[in-house]
Amino acid sequence: RATLYVVATPIGNLRDISQRALDVLAGVDVVAAEDTRVSGQLLRHFGIQNSLLSLREHNERAMAERIIARLAAGESVAQISDAGTPGISDPGAVLAAAVHAAGYPVVPVPGASALTAAVSAAGFSCPHTLFYGFLPPKSKQRRDALAPLVVLPYLTVYYEAPHRIVDCLTDLAAVFGDARQVVMARELTKTFETIRRSTLGELLQWVQADSNQQRGEFVLVVDAAEPVENTDEAAHDAVLSPLVAELP
Ligand code: SAM
Farthest CA pair distance, the chain: 89
The residue contributing the CA closest to ligand 1 atom 23 is: 188
Mind listing the pLDDT tens digit for each residue in 98-111?
Answer: 999 999 999 999 99
Q: Which helix (H) or strand (E) holds 247?
A: none
CB proximity list for 48: less than 8 A, separation 6 or greater = 22, 25, 26
How many angstroms from the chain centroid is the CA of residue 20?
Answer: 22
Give distance in angstroms: CA of 85 to centre of ligand 1. Answer: 9
Residues with beta carbon inside 6 Å of ligand 1?
11-12, 81, 83-85, 88-90, 113-115, 159-161, 185, 187-190, 217-219
Provide the 3-class DSSP secondary structure of residue 5.
strand
Give distance in angstroms: CA of 83 to centre of ligand 1. Answer: 7
Per-residue tens of pLDDT for the chain, all 248 residues: 899 999 999 999 999 999 999 999 999 999 999 999 999 999 999 999 999 999 999 999 999 999 999 999 999 999 999 999 999 999 999 999 999 999 999 999 999 999 999 999 999 999 999 999 999 999 999 999 999 999 999 999 999 999 999 999 999 999 999 999 999 999 999 999 999 999 999 999 999 999 999 999 999 999 999 876 666 655 555 545 555 566 66
Q: How far apart are the first and last CA of the chain?
A: 83
Sheet holding 4-7, edge to edge: 52-54, 30-33, 77-79, 4-7, 106-109
Q: Which helix (H) or strand (E) holds 156?
A: strand 155-160
Q: How far apart are CA 186 and CA 203, in angstroms?
A: 13
Give distance in angstroms: CA of 95 to centre of ligand 1. Answer: 20
Give distance in angstroms: CA of 94 to centre of ligand 1. Answer: 20
Q: Ligand 1 pocket test: which of 89, 120, 194 has the largest number of ligand atoms within 8 Å of its C-beta? A: 89
ipTM: 0.99
Predicted pLDDT at 240: 52
Q: Does pTM top 0.90 for this prediction?
A: yes
CB proximity list for 167: less than 8 A, separation 6 or greater = 139, 142
